[in-house]
């Protein structure tokens, strides 16, 4: 194996500062995050001389667990690493954010033409944690291929001399999913690379008050183009006008296409950006002063 990214030990430092996540937590629910592991990830590898779990550091010098492989001088590579069982919750579409680095094949002296700069991402659905060291079989079908992933930037020996690694971030999604959970697998077929971080999540539209109505948190649909309709409930002392009020949750966890609205009933007026209907002589508790239990009376 090629000098493990020219590291003299088992720990590596990736210099480029990459954010902890590109994921908007208000619009997402994390199902798995490899960077939060406090011990070994313990993912399953096949064969035993393929992927290897090692310790690394993020930009804040926090220890993280990574997987790397570099059998570029051996042809006919077929190395797999499989995550543990991931429960999907209520998600219908799954998103996977991968941070990884890949060695530039042209920078490796005397490397054979079988050297690659890509890898494959797969998933396998199940209702429980049924996987073993040999099942599901390490091949496409039963595994379902999500995509072949290529690096936007690869690194060379010159980069290594400065301890600088070029980190790539790619996000892929798949669906619909219907079983209780799934596994992910990464297939190497001749690259010199490291999987630095994997985050698995689904999108959701957060609870909002819009057009005089409350819309509860809604999960995005099974397809990236799905629009999931959500019925709104008028705020107190409000009532629907013309048509039933709706919003649609898109595949990115964003509300869109508002239909209808709620108006304050006679004798009431809209206040606090349309989130309350105030009536004459009513006493409205100021939301920003709940701690003091202060109230404002309107006469």
Strand partners, 163: none
Pairwise CA distance, residues 85 & 175, whole Å: 17
Same domain, 117 and 259: no
- Residue ending a domain, among 167, 202, 237, is 202
Same domain, 127 and 251: no
Could you write out the DSSP letters of every residue in 106-125? GGSTT--TT-BSEEEEEEEE
| Tally of domains in the chain | 2
Contact present, 135 and 186 (Cβ < 8 Å): no
Largest CA distance in the chain: 86
CATH number, position 31: 2.60.120.260
Same domain, 29 and 144: yes
Same domain, 188 and 218: no
Contact present, 198 and 121 (Cβ < 8 Å): no
List phi, psi (to 5°) of 233. Answer: -115, 125
Same domain, 174 and 259: no
What averages of pLDDT result for each successive group of 10 residues across the chain (299 residues)? 37 34 73 93 96 83 90 94 97 96 90 92 99 98 98 63 70 97 98 96 96 96 95 95 93 94 92 86 48 39
Same domain, 101 and 217: no
Same domain, 62 and 84: yes
Q: Which pLDDT value is given to residue 62?
A: 77
- Residue ending a domain, among 186, 202, 218, is 202
CATH number, position 249: 2.60.40.1770
Same domain, 160 and 271: no
Domain that holds residue 171: 3-202
Q: Which pLDDT value is given to residue 19?
A: 41
Same domain, 109 and 139: yes
Same domain, 66 and 174: yes
Q: Which pLDDT value is given to residue 24?
A: 64
Same domain, 210 and 198: no
Same domain, 37 and 123: yes
Which pLDDT tens digit goes with each residue over 97-121? Answer: 999 999 999 888 888 888 999 999 9
- Residue ending a domain, among 202, 233, 267, is 202
Helix, strand or coil for residue 290?
helix
Q: Which pLDDT value is given to residue 152?
A: 84
């Amino acid at each position: 194996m090629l000098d493990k990214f020219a590291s003299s030990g088992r720990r590596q430092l990736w210099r480029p500062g990459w954010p902890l996540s590109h994921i908007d937590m208000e619009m997402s629910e994390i199902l798995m995050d490899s960077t939060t592991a406090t011990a070994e990830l313990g993912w399953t590898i096949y064969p035993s001389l393929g992927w290897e779990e090692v310790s690394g550091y993020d930009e804040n010098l926090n220890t993280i667990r990574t997987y790397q492989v570099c059998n570029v001088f051996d042809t006919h590579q077929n190395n797999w690493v499989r995550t543990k069982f991931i429960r999907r919750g209520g998600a219908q579409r799954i998103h996977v954010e991968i941070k990884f680095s890949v060695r530039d094949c042209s920078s490796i002296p005397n490397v054979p033409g079988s050297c690659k700069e890509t890898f494959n991402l797969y998933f396998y659905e199940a209702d429980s944690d049924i996987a073993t060291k040999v099942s599901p079989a390490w091949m496409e079908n039963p595994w379902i291929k999500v995509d072949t992933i290529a690096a936007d930037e690869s690194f060379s020996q010159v980069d290594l001399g400065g301890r600088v690694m070029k980190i790539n971030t790619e996000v892929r999604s798949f669906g619909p999913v219907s079983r209780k959970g799934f596994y992910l697998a990464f297939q190497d077929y001749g690259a010199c690379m490291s999987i630095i971080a994997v985050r698995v999540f689904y999108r959701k539209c957060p609870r909002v008050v819009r057009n005089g109505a409350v819309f509860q948190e809604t999960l995005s649909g099974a397809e990236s183009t799905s629009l999931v309709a959500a019925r709104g409930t008028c705020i107190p002392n409000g009532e629907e006008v013309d048509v039933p009020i709706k919003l649609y949750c898109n595949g990115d966890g964003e509300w869109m296409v508002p239909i209808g609205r709620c108006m304050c009933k006679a004798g009431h007026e809209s206040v606090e950006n349309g989130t309350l209907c105030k009536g004459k002589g009513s006493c409205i508790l100021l939301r920003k002063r709940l701690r003091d239990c202060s109230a404002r009376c309107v006469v």
